[in-house]
Amino acid sequence: MLRRTMDINPFKYCSGLRYLGYLMIFMVLGIIALSYWAVIVLVWGPKLIHGGAPAVLAAFIVLLFHVLLILLTWSYFMVVFRDPGSIPQNWAPVLDVNLEEGTSSSSLATPWPASNGSERRSTVGYCSRCQNPRPPRCHHCSVCQKCVLKMDHHCVWVVNCVGARNYKFFLLFLIYTFLETTLDTFALLPKVIALFGEARKHSASPGNLAVMVLAFVLNLAFALSLLCFVIMHATLLWSNTTTIEVYEKKRDKKETASRWKYDLGWRKNVEEVFGTKKALWFLPMFTKDDLDNVPSLQGTHFPVRDDSES
C-alpha cells in the first residue's frame, strides 16, 4: 500500500499548464498584430506619403518598428522551439577518484574545469522523478516532465523552459519586446491625446479610437512590466545566477555570505550566456564553436571561480 502511494506523482498534472502556454502564443501574436495595425497602418504609415519633416520622422519610426519586430519575433520563436537543454542520453557523472589511496568511490561527484584551468569537484544531484543522476544547476520541470540543464524557470508565455541552450534568446526577447513596446507607447501617445480631443467633438472614428487606446494601454503596461524583468535578469546575468538559484542561495546562508562560486566576473559571465562572438551578442544565434566550447551552453559542467580570488 505504501509503495503504491509513493508511485503516485501529483506533479504529472502540472503538464496541463502547457496548454495554457499555447493560448499565450496566440495572445502574443494578437498583441503584435494590434500594435502593427495601430502604429503602422493607422498612424505613421499614412504620414510617409505627405512628405516633409513628418515623413522623415515617420520613415524612422516605421523602419525602427520593423527592425525591432523582426528581432523580437525571431528571438521569441527561438525560445519557443529551441530545446533548453536536456541531459544527454546515457550521461553519467565521473567517479570521484581518490588519488592518494588509488581507489574510486561511487559518490556522485565529478571534476569540472575551474576558471583558472584547474579541476574542481562539484556535487552532482539525483532526480527522484526521472530516476537519473543530473548535472550541477540542473532541475526537474514538473510542466515539461523532464530535467532541464541550467534551468532558470518555466515560462508559460513561450510554452517552454528557459535553460542553458535558450536563455540568451529569452533575454533578447525581453530586451527587444521592451524596446518595441516603449517605441509603440511613445509613437501612439500624441495620436491618442489628439483622438480624445476629437472624440469630444464627435469627429473621431470609434473603431480607430478603440484600437489605438487598447494598443497604447497594452504597450504601456508591457513596457513597464518588462522593464522590471529586464533589470532583474540583467542582474542575474551579471552574477551568473539563475532565478532558481536565487531562492537556493537564500536557503543557504553560507552561500549568501560568500561570493557565488559560478561568478567569474561580468565579462566571463556574459560570455557564458551570449557566447564569445561579440558580433552575435544581439542576434538570437550561436556559432558552432561556441556551442562546442562554451561549457555553460553544453549545460553538463560549469567553470567555477578560483578560491584564491579575493
Asked if residue 294 has pLDDT above 70, the reply is yes
DSSP output for 62-131: HHHHHHHHHHHHHHHHHHHHS---BPPTT--PPPEEETTTTEEE--SEEEEE-TTS-EEEEE-EEETTTT
Q: How far is CA 212 from the centre of its chain?
A: 29
Neighbour count for residue 223 (Cβ, 10 Å)? 19
Distance separating alpha carbons of residues 52 and 56, to the nearest angstrom: 7
Question: In this predicted structure, what is the pLDDT of residue 194?
Answer: 84
- Percentage of the residues of the chain whose pLDDT score is greater than 70: 77
130 is catalytic: no
* Active-site annotation holder among 144, 155, 161, 228: 155
Average pLDDT, the chain: 81
pLDDT (0 to 100) of residue 116: 41
Burial 41-70 (b: 16+ CB within 10 A, else e): ebbbbebeeeeeeeeeebeebbeebeebbe
Question: What's this model's pTM, rounded to 2 decimal places?
Answer: 0.83
Question: What is the tens place of the pLDDT at every residue in 197-217?
Answer: 765 665 557 777 889 999 999
Indicate the domain borders of the chain: 15-88+154-298
Of the candidate ranges 1-15, 71-85, 202-216, the one whose mean pLDDT is the lowest = 1-15
